[in-house]
């Protein structure tokens, strides 16, 4: 993970980074995630900022705190992340794609064809 | 939690107003960046806090009590400073001398850090290179038992690897001392400190010009990019800080509000850019 101030507030980037790690199963449900101390030293970040990022995930019930032990990945965390990402998929990925395609002058059929071709290529490559 | 308050501090050197009515509060459990251009008054302020020089007016309070001429309270404050008390001593003897002044000085940690930084303990302090002189002083600061530790340009002359070590050490020592310690770091390398400090104070020409959470300070300035006519329209109600033109593309830095206009990009800035724009001229 590489944290740049310009992109979005650092605590949001921490939440996003940890969420990515849970979604891609670097940390499984029930696993302990690194402590605030370890993350702050490892990434040279203020510990309060790290905690603020973690608290976002606590609120979304993606991680939970065991008193005196540390932070753990909640049961069902991956499903919750998936659900959240599916609901923002349209906004985050489809809308910018359509916008750029329109700028380039592609019509609806051409866009659908291009997407279909990409999917076919993906399948053949596997 | 302990508090260090700077109350209406001013400092004049003959006709020069070095500090103009500065009021700040530092709390243990936080890391602060103290930023300012050359000659802004950062070192003067730190020297006043550490009782090295007297303010023309104003005072310094620790937990509500006046710190000047109170040895007990002054021992809660440590300034990593420019002038060396230890010039003619070897580093090893200097660390032992520090232990003599501050009985809770962590001598074994000092030797451990000297080893990590490959500081030769036999070398006389006066013979250290600029980089190793900074390292020597940084070690003194990390091992001090003071609650308020002021770093004055701690990475001056340090190479990239040693700076990286310093920043990690800053966070790990801070974590170890949990809420017991407050670090104030004065530096010109804003990009390197902006993720480490929770709050930043910017002084310019002796005056405080910004103070708050790092993320709030950088959010107070926006970058507006586009063709001149559109950018002009977007920023017509804003306070303009700076303009940069490359070809037909205008970049304008503004404080606060911007009109949203199609064809104009509105970007956020980092702390360094914010600093440059608000300390101009």
Per-residue pLDDT reduced to its tens digit, B49-83: 999 999 999 999 999 999 888 888 999 999 997 66
**Chain-wide mean pLDDT for chain B?**
93
Q: What was the pLDDT predicted at A4?
A: 67
Q: Which of B164, B175, B214 sits opposite A47 (nearest CB)?
A: B175
Q: What was the pLDDT predicted at B257?
A: 82
Q: 3-state class of B178 per DSSP?
A: helix
Is A44 within 8 Å of chain B by CB?
yes
Chain A CB contacts of B194 below 8 Å: 5
Nearest to B265 by CA among B228, B221, B225: B225
Q: Which of A3, A10, A44 sits opposite B171 (nearest CB)?
A: A44
Ranges of chain A with pLDDT below 50? none
3-state helix, strand, coil in chain B (%, to 5): 35, 30, 35
Q: Give mean pLDDT, residues B38-45.
A: 94
pLDDT interval class at B4 (50, 70, 90):
very high
Q: Which of B167, B196, B215 sits opposite A9 (nearest CB)?
A: B215
Distance CA B33, CA B162 (A): 19
Q: Which of A4, A41, A46 sits opposite B172 (nearest CB)?
A: A41
CA distance A117 to chain B (A): 32
Q: What was the pLDDT predicted at B179?
A: 83
Put simply, the answer to whether B168 touches A9 (Cβ < 8 Å) is: no
Q: What was the pLDDT predicted at A2?
A: 65
Distance CA B133, CA B229 (A): 53
ipTM summary value: 0.85
Q: 3-state class of B128 per DSSP?
A: coil
Q: Give mean pLDDT, residues B221-249.
A: 93
Chain B CB contacts of A45 below 8 Å: 171, 195-196
Distance CA B175, CA B31 (A): 11
Q: What was the pLDDT predicted at A113?
A: 94
Distance CA B154, CA B266 (A): 35
Compute how many other C-beta atoms are within 10 angstroms of the C-beta atom of residue B66.
Answer: 12
Contact assessment for residue A45 and residue B195, using Cβ atoms and an 8 Å cutoff: yes
Nearest to A24 by CA among A106, A85, A111: A85
Distance CA B201, CA B217 (A): 9
Chain A CB contacts of B196 below 8 Å: 44-46
Q: Give mean pLDDT, residues B256-276.
A: 91
B182: pLDDT strictly greater than 70:
yes
Q: Which of A5, A8, A46 sits opposite B198 (nearest CB)?
A: A46
Q: What was the pLDDT predicted at B67?
A: 87
Q: Give mean pLDDT, residues B170-193.
A: 94
Helical residues (DSSP H) of A2-107, grouped into ranges: 10-23, 36-43, 47-59, 77-89, 95-103
Q: Which of B31, B171, B192, B196 to mutate to test the interface with A (most CBs of A within 10 A)?
A: B171
B164: pLDDT strictly greater than 90:
yes
Tokens 């602060």 — which residue? B32
Q: Give mean pLDDT, residues B137-165.
A: 94
> In the beta sheet, which residues pair with residue B124?
B90
Put simply, the answer to whether A4 touches B270 (Cβ < 8 Å) is: yes
Interface of B with A (CB under 8 A): 30-31, 164, 167-168, 171-172, 174-175, 194-198, 214-215, 218, 267-271
Pairing of strands B221-227, B77-80: unpaired
B85: pLDDT strictly greater than 80:
no
Q: What was the pLDDT predicted at A122?
A: 86
Q: What was the pLDDT predicted at B109?
A: 96
CA angle B184, B146, B169 (to 5 degrees): 55
Put simply, the answer to whether A44 touches B198 (Cβ < 8 Å) is: no
Q: What was the pLDDT predicted at B83?
A: 61
> In the beta sheet, which residues pair with residue B223?
B253, B267
**Distance (Å) of CA B83 to CA B52, B145, B255:** 11, 20, 39
Put simply, the answer to whether A45 touches B196 (Cβ < 8 Å) is: yes
Q: What was the pLDDT predicted at B107?
A: 96
């Amino acid at each position: 993970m590489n944290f740049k101030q310009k992109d979005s507030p650092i605590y949001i980037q921490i939440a996003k980074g940890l969420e990515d790690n849970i979604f891609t199963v670097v940390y499984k449900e029930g696993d302990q995630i690194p402590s605030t101390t370890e993350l702050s030293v490892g990434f040279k970040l203020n510990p309060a900022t790290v905690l603020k990022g973690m608290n976002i995930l606590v609120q979304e019930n993606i991680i939970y705190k065991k008193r005196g032990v540390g932070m753990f990945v909640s049961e069902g965390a991956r499903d919750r992340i998936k659900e959240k990402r599916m609901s923002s998929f349209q906004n985050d990925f489809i809308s910018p794609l359509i916008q750029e395609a329109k700028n380039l002058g592609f019509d609806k059929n051409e866009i659908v064809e291009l997407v279909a071709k990409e999917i076919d290529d993906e399948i053949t490559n596997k | 939690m302990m508090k260090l308050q700077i109350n209406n501090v001013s400092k004049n050197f003959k006709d020069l107003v070095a500090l103009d009515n500065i009021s700040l509060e530092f709390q243990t459990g936080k890391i602060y960046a103290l930023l300012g251009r050359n000659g802004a008054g950062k070192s003067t302020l730190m020297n006043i806090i550490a009782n090295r020089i007297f303010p023309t007016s104003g005072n310094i309070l620790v937990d509500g009590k006046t710190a000047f001429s109170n040895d007990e309270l002054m021992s809660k404050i440590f300034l990593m400073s420019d002038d060396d008390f230890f010039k003619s001593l070897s580093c090893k003897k200097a660390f032992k001398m520090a232990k003599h002044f501050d009985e809770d000085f962590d001598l074994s940690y000092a030797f451990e850090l000297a080893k990590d930084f490959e500081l030769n303990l036999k070398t006389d302090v006066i013979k250290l290179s600029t980089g190793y002189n900074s390292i020597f002083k940084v070690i003194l600061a990390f091992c001090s038992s003071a609650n308020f530790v002021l770093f004055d340009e701690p990475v001056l002359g340090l190479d990239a690897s040693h700076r990286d070590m310093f920043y990690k050490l800053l966070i790990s020592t801070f974590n170890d001392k949990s809420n017991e310690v407050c670090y104030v770091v004065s530096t010109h390398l804003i990009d390197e400190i902006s993720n480490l400090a929770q709050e930043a104070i910017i002084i310019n020409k002796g005056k405080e010009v910004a103070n708050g959470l790092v993320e709030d300070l950088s959010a107070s300035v926006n970058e507006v990019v586009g063709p001149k006519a559109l950018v002009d329209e977007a920023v017509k109600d804003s306070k303009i800080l700076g303009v940069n033109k490359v070809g037909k593309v205008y970049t304008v830095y503004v404080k606060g509000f911007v009109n949203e206009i199609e064809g104009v990009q509105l970007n956020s800035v980092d702390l360094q850019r914010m600093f440059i724009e608000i300390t101009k001229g």
